[in-house]
Amino acid sequence: MARTIAIRPGANVPVQEPPELDPRKRFRELMIEQLRKVSGKPVKVMHYTAGLYLKKIVGEAQVELVGWPVDVPFGNLSHLKGGAAVVKQLLHELKSMRLYFRRLLPEEAKAIHQSHTTPGKCTPRPPRHPRADESQHHLRRVHNARYPRTGAKTPAIVED
């Protein structure tokens, strides 16, 4: 909505309103603001990975996120499929208080932490890329080697 200001009597010039912040940025700001308000602690970051969410948000801040949409996987906002539409949906849910934080009792926090429950279905971890030099021989930089050391240094698949 544009408003006008009078420069001289009778001359109105429209003034541009500042555009709405990036929905992802606005969503993150509102999440952190609500998280600080509910937990009462100076939380700096909301964690969207299952392990850090359970450790930092549920375990340390003793707060639970309630109302995460079922069709949106819980994960990093930059990696969500659907792009800006999904982030706008989450922002709308947050503004309408259907997505909110709830303070937990210590027993509840411990139970959630032990059951590894996240607000929504977690995004799977992407598979690691194989080595670029897989199945190639490498000469190691060994001076005065007793025997030549050739071959791959690590297996083709590295398990975490």
Tell me: pLDDT of 6 over 60.
Answer: no
Domain ranges of the chain: 23-115
Q: What pLDDT does residue 16 have? A: 57
Write down the mean pLDDT value for the chain: 80
pTM equals 0.62
Amino acid at 94: L
Query: Each residue of 36-82: pLDDT tens digit?
Result: 999 988 888 888 888 888 888 888 889 999 999 888 888 888 888 88
Contacts by 55-59, CB closer than 8 A, 24 or more apart? 55/113, 58/104, 58/109, 58/112, 58/113, 59/109, 59/113
Of residues 72 and 140, the one with the higher pLDDT is 72
Closest CA to 77 of 46, 35, 100, 39: 46
Q: Going by C-beta distance under 8 Å and a sequence separation of 6 or more, which residues neighbour residue 79?
A: 123
Beta strands in the chain, from DSSP E residues, in sequence order: 3-8, 11-15, 63-66, 100-103
